[in-house]
Chain A
């Protein structure tokens, strides 16, 4: 069985369509992030890891009545509690109770204790301690985690750039990094658009898809480089098109298979990994798209721009001599 025999699409001609598509999603994401920023002070919904606060997840034996729980919280004097059902395939009848950030670190635990004791008072035999998950994050730690996340993302991108510069020419590195940046922007934009929270595991997913998108782009670049080496007379756009067509089969198959595995994670993996798998589901699709639609056209555009500057830019194969 073979899906991509003799494919011969002129990808570079579609570059305006690609640009439009990318712009559409990027701008939609940016606009939503701007709206969120002015409304909440954060461009994306933040998980408890970064915004601080208390989250108590409780598994009840029978379906819990949200209104009754809210009354129980009010009766205990707990204000600002956000209560929502938190159903998963493995555990229905779960509820998530969130409290806002406690700025006084001395009283950090008070919220949790109040919530748990209020629940014990009203629902004593409906749940027990082994069905409770608590996350209390104080402002100090929230800040630390945020800084950490930023650092990880920046170091990653920089590391990628350096590695690619080393293996290919600088322009390849820049094109790949631009593609990765585009992927990250659109993925984060999707979080803003769908209102999903960004937690530490989501950051891990984003870093993974940075690596994945880079992979994908490298496969195409490797083929471009090999083809350039073999035929010096073909024009760059033709080489790029041919390379993409040649690697199309591999690209679609791998992305497809990886996509299926993370889709399985999204469907069966439960609430805790929901954000993580969502980031990967979106990221893998966009990452594959960007190698063809962003990175490759950028190479061609750069050469054409250099040509208009009067410099003849021939993208040599690599810094290594021919074998």
Chain B
């Protein structure tokens, strides 16, 4: 029996060491060729602190996938116009009749004679992605993007947005950023950046992900929207749009003006292959030197050759940034000249390089915690925990005397195992997580109380010490399992359904209760057995 006992003691000691290593790792060990880190740093390296404790920014963004769909159908409009022109099939217009339904394209004004030719042309090229309707007797055909294609496009847009955001966030140098799809809503992205204090800087980086496009200028600059509308006879035709901005290269001023641009972009964000800041050797102005993809390059060459001496506008984030005169055909590399600041040029290049966002982002939730407030929270949480532990330990000693030491040792081991679990699993400790630790202390000691009360009952009923201990553990076991399972189930529901801080609470509670199952039963029992072994015959246990 003694040998068995020693083996078990050794096992518990081993568990203790393993979990302590889980908490602080081995980086503090000064072995040859390795500079040891301080214990404090080793601790914080292993145990990840949540945003509410270390400070940081938490954002929930919604990707406006409708814009990506709109861009795609805009392209389709352009292609249909091209196809019909090449095939010499007349039509009055191809356009999107409803801005709230970007998936709908309409072809109007087809002569009855051409109706079937147009229909087969459309079927040929677009029936994979669009549902085509219309017989042509009224000269109207409608194309609606297929729902499956639309949702695939929307999904892809979200994934692309995540990639792009990840790239941009990299430049902030954040360790362990979280950028993921957010489960609670469609097309929502969660961004968590620990250690970042400046929300505005983050947003500037993310917000500037507005799309970059080059549009043909139809008219402008006008003083305001009324003047712009008047120029086209009262209202803007559907294939054109009004955009604010300032092309100060052309006008020489920074004043806000309104331009009328052709709606379909000649070149848009995804067509850019690379972009770098540069300087114009002649004027010493800052420029952005860009190259396009091959396919876009061909299209651009086509466009610029046909439109020499007209203007094109560079639109960023729905704002005209610059207006340029087309002086000659441009294939796939060119320069954007303008009165940019150094920052603007660098940002613009980076944005073009990492690819523009396929659609713009909207903020749904924005939380941030400053580092010193986070440190406050740590201090408060730890104080509460220490006070709680001391009170409980003290009470157990007073009430159960010798067995109280047993319970206190088990409690201590419990905490070590709990923190060790956190270290091994890489789980995040949040402020509610610290509350979970405190709760575990209270609930953990419950198991000990259950057992000890039962032992007292058995002793009162006249059983000998060893038998009383046996009965105590035996009877209490079922109830301990029951109570732990119900609380763990609660915690599991919280984990699945909760967000960051609440998840942290569920994790520490669960780990704590699991650790407690081990310590309250196995370890406590062992200590009792060891104590019983050292009692003289007939001597009562201290409980």
Interface string of B178-203 (1 = CB under 8 A from A): 00000011000000000001111001
Q: What class of interface size applies to chain A in its complex with B?
A: 35 or more
Q: How many Å from the CB of B538 to the closest CB on chain A? A: 22
Q: Mark B498-539, 1 if CB is under 8 A from A, else 0.
A: 110110011001000000000000000000000000000000
Q: Which residues of B contact A105 (CB under 8 A)?
A: 62, 362-364
Minimum C-beta distance from B325 to chain A (A)? 34
Cβ of B438 within 8 Å of any chain A Cβ, yes or no, is yes
A270 in contact with B391 (CB, 8 Å): no
Are the CB atoms of A91 and B443 closer together than 8 Å?
no
B456 interface residue per 8 A CB criterion: yes
Main SS of chain B's interface residues? Answer: helix
Separation in Å of the A107 CB from the closest CB of chain B?
Answer: 10
A126 within 8 A of B: no
Contact B373 A131, beta carbon cutoff 8 Å? yes
Q: Mark B433-447, 1 if CB is under 8 A from A, else 0.
A: 001001101110110
Decide: A272 and B497 in contact? CB cutoff 8 A: no
Contact status B431-A273, CB under 8 Å = yes
For residue B247, CB closer than 8 A to chain A, the reply is no
Taking the complex as formed, is A196 at the interface, i.e. its CB lies under 8 A from any CB of chain B? no
Kindly supply a per-residue 1/0 record for chain A positions 65-103, scoring 1 wherever the CB is within 8 Å of any chain B CB and 0 otherwise: 000000000000000000000001111000000000000
B384 within 8 A of A: yes
Confirm or deny: A39 has a beta carbon within 8 angstroms of a beta carbon on chain B: no
Verify if B90 is at the interface (C-beta below 8 Å from A).
no
* A131 CA / B376 CA spacing, docked (Å): 10
Residue contact A264 to B438, C-beta cutoff 8 Å = yes
| Interface residue B226 (Cβ < 8 Å from any Cβ of A) | no
B392 to A257, Cβ gap below 8 A? yes
Query: Per a CB cutoff under 8 Å, which of A1, A137, A156, A163 touches B399?
Result: A1
Query: Across the interface, which residues of B come within 8 angstroms of A136, CB to CB?
Result: 363, 365-367
Q: Check if A253 sits within 8 Å of B399, measured CB to CB.
A: yes
Size bracket, chain B contacts = 35 or more
Docked complex Cα distance between A211 and B494 (Å)? 11
**Knowing A137-B365, A257-B392 touch, does A90 contact B376 (C-beta < 8 A)?**
yes
At the interface, yes or no: A228 with Cβ under 8 Å from chain B? no
Q: Which residue of A lies closest to B505 (CB)?
A: A204
**Is the Cβ of A277 less than 8 Å from the Cβ of B435?**
yes
Q: Would B373 and A201 count as touching, CB distance under 8 A?
A: no
Which of B135-143, B326-334, B462-470, B476-484 lies at the interface with chain A? Answer: B476-484
Please tell me which stretch of A11-19, A28-36, A215-223 contacts chain B, meaning at least 4 of its Cβ atoms lie within 8 angstroms of it. Answer: A215-223
- Report the minimal beta-carbon distance from A255 to chain B, rounded to whole angstroms: 9
Q: B482 to A138, Cβ gap below 8 A? A: no
Per the 8 Å Cβ criterion, residues 473-496 of B in contact with A are 475, 478-479, 482-483, 485-487, 489-491, 493-494
| A199→B471 CA distance, assembly (Å) | 45
Nearest Cβ on chain A to B92's Cβ, whole angstroms: 36
Closest to A6 in B: B460
Question: Are A204 and B494 closer than 8 Å at their CB atoms?
Answer: yes
A129 contact set on B, CB distance < 8 A: 197-198, 370
Please give the residue numbers on chain B whose beta carbons come within 8 Å of chain A beta carbons, in ascending order: 52, 55, 60, 62, 184-185, 197-200, 203, 362-373, 376-377, 379-381, 383-385, 387-388, 391-392, 395, 398-399, 401, 431-432, 435, 438-439, 441-443, 445-446, 449-450, 453, 456-457, 475, 478-479, 482-483, 485-487, 489-491, 493-494, 497-499, 501-502, 505-506, 509
9 cross-chain pairs, A with B, having the tightest CB-CB distances, nearest first: A258-B442, A211-B490, A270-B380, A261-B388, A261-B442, A215-B483, A268-B384, A211-B487, A136-B366
Q: Would you mind naming 8 contact pairs between A and B with Cβ atoms under 8 Å apart?
A: A108-B364, A129-B198, A140-B62, A141-B185, A208-B439, A254-B442, A270-B377, A273-B432
